[in-house]
Amino acid sequence: MEPILAVFVGALFTVAIYLMMSRHTIRILMGVMIFGNAVNLLIFTAGRLTRDVPPIIPAALDVPEIATANPLPQALILTAIVISFSFFAFLLVLGFRAYQELDTDDSREMRLAEPKDDPLPPLGY
């Protein structure tokens, strides 16, 4: 199961980076959202997928006798979900406000500080 999830995480990272390289604001926001979900899934997969044994150590033992589920990645993911959702909500409001002010979602047309007659900066090497 873990190799399948590793391939899926790689695919999510690929899609997220592709979307974040777009020049349209909504695609960038979708890329950020998918990137956050990919990071959460990566942390979850790195913490081992053990469903059969709960992370409970008997009172008589200091160390569990068998491999148990790791609760730390699950706690980290719960926190990361809240943070990534609030970050996405902030970016969504920021993008919507920029669209209202500038009437465009194209990042090339959002260059208010640069005069329109100046040539574009180098776009490649």
* pLDDT class of 38 with cuts at 50, 70, 90: very high
Q: How confident is the model at residue 66 (pLDDT cuts 50, 70, 90)?
A: confident
CATH class label, 2-52+68-109: mainly alpha
User: Which residues are within 8 A (CB) of 120 and not within 5 positions of it... i.e. 6 or more apart?
Assistant: 108
Span 73-87, pLDDT tens digits: 888 899 999 999 999
pLDDT at 28 (0 to 100): 93
Task: Tell whether the model's pLDDT for residue 94 goes beyond 80.
Answer: yes
**In the predicted structure, residue 37 carries a pLDDT above the cut 90:** yes
Quote the tokens at residue 123. Answer: 């776009």
Contacts of 41 (CB under 8 A, 6+ apart): 5, 8, 9, 12
Handedness of CA 107, 109, 113, 117 (dihedral sign): positive
Q: pTM of whole model > 0.95?
A: no
Residue type, 54: P
